A and B are shown apart, each in its own frame.
Chain A
Amino acid sequence: MSGAMQEEQEMSSEPISRRRQRSQAAIRVTWLFAGLGKYASLVAFCVILMLPLVVILFASFKSAKEYLTTSPITPPQDWLNFSNFGTAFFDGDMLQGFGNTTIILVASIVATILIGTMTAYALDRFTFRFKRVIFALFLIATLVPGVTTQVATYQVVNGLHLINTYWAAIILFSGTDIVSVYIFIQFMQSIPKSLDEAAMLEGASRFMIYRRIILPLLQPAIATVIIIKGIAIYNEFYIPFLYLPSPDLQVISTSLFHFTGPFAASQQIIAAGIIIVIAPTLVIFLLLQRFIYNGITQGATK
């Protein structure tokens, strides 16, 4: 939405700035320098940002001997040497990591959407006692810093005998996700209440209204939540590290974390592992750029 506005603004302001540029040569010179400085700083910053990633890409294609004898910033001799990727993927059990991540990701997202939309529906459309209190409880919960409370949450999860089960991660990811509840509520406020009322006159039950009217209309908000949540869960390290220590339950983050032990002597294989972990993120980013920017902005400013 803001992109469109931006373009519009650029189109309308263009003839004015052009006319001025043509008429005043002095200004054109300063513009040229400003333009040069602008692109130079952009390119320089992008090079700095890309440098740590590019050397990992270089390293992942190098043989063990080549890695030890060449400088990190030298490109590999053979860009088709995929043997490190094979070793990382199969010996590093990354397939299992991807499998477990997928199971937890899908289950948590489905649970988050169901719980989140229902909570939002109840909080936005009904009036009941203690509603404000419940709102306040949700609000304050967003502010409690996550990792530190694991000290006590661990005891609860342990008490429920959920350590080393998928459930530990799924429940923690979906149970207390307040940001999505907020995104749903905000979106729901834009759905006219008259729709509910009309359906109620036709004799629809509360659940039917939720199922047939609210849920389909919430689709854009659901897409946003899927994106934010999906990225967050794919990248989450500490919850699986703490609650799923068993080797069979490694997710992608923890399997990469464990690379540092067995592959400590062969850094080129760790590099290949890093590239394997980043690749899906890059593909998703390139495909869904616009949605990711919007989703992240909405999620962060709540």
Chain B
Amino acid sequence: MPLVLLITFTYYPVGNMIWYSFTDWDGIDQTKNFVGLNNYIQLFTRPQYFQVFTVSLYYFAASFVQMAIALYFATLLSFRTRFKNFFKGIIFFPYLINGVAIGLIFLFFFRPGGTLDATLVALGLGKMGHFPLWLGNPGWVNISLAGASVWRYTGLNFVLFLGAIQSIPSEAYEAADIDGANSWQKFRYLIVPGIRRIISLSMILAIAGSLSVFELPYIITGGANGSGTFVTTTVQQAFVFQRVGFASAMAVMLTIVVLLITWIQRKLVPDDDVALS
């Protein structure tokens, strides 16, 4: 039974998708014309489609910012801290919020005369009416959206890092204390090696994640002004322009890339948790 569901809703569609990707199907027509590699050639040669890869670079860069912030605060809070649970809660909570709500929150935030503009004015960093259109200017839109993504996901990285740091045995810290290690040395020689595995996992998630960004740009800008990501473009091609064949080719490409990255990660960092046999 679960196998039937798995096959019906994962493998059968994936199989179909590969087949569609070689056709010009529009999703309705009875006939599907075989067009060979045409869809793939279009994907790689038309600049407007290839541009989506550039967009993922913004999110990829942002995910490093995100990991750095998360690691910094996870390290801080792994030491003795007042109101620790309070800080932990605030940093983590954005991750739990409904994606549509986050999208609308950032529409408020970035709108002309909105929260960001008003805050910058209050801090004396500019005058009202002189700010760029954070979501309307193609030079800014991806930075703004990537910022929103950092806001949303830092909490997840933070909690994962914090958990990994706290699972370092306490004897190690005691030994370090006796040896007179300072906080930086503890970080460098105890914490970093202790969480190497979770960092490498986060890296992979960052690459795969930056290619499959969807919800925030779809809700905030609808992919306008050069903010279209791989997935928003795929969805638009399939369900708005009815180009199911072409969209399938995009989806197949993405799946291959993600599988490839994961495979490389498994090779580089052998997984030693569940022995499944």
Contact = CB atoms under 8 A, between A and B. Distances in A.
Main secondary structure of the interface of A (DSSP, over half): helix
Most buried by B among A56, A149, A271: A149
A64 interface: no
Contacts of A222: none
Interface in B173-197: 173-174, 177-178, 183
B262 interface: yes
B85 A152 contact: no
Contact of B212 (A71, A145, A252): A145
Interface stretch (A132-140, A196-204, A210-218): A132-140
Contacts of A115: 1-2, 5
Contact of A148 (B2, B77, B108, B254): B254
Contacts of A186: 273-274
A219 interface: no
A52 B109 contact: yes
Interface in B131-154: 151
A41 B76 contact: yes
A42 B91 CA distance: 9
Given A49-B91, A52-B105, A73-B118, A9 B174 contact: yes
B49 interface: no
Contacts of B91: 45-46, 49
Contacts of B73: 41-42, 45
A293 B163 contact: yes
A231 to B, nearest CB: 6
B161 to A, nearest CB: 10
Contact of B87 (A42, A147, A151, A154): A42
A107 interface: no
B40 interface: no
A144 B235 CA distance: 16
Contacts of A292: 96
A144 B115 contact: no
Contact of A176 (B6, B87, B214): B6
Interface string B252-277: 00110011001000000000011011
B226 to A, nearest CB: 20
A34 B89 contact: no
Nearest to B88: A293
Contact of B258 (A12, A71, A143, A231): A143
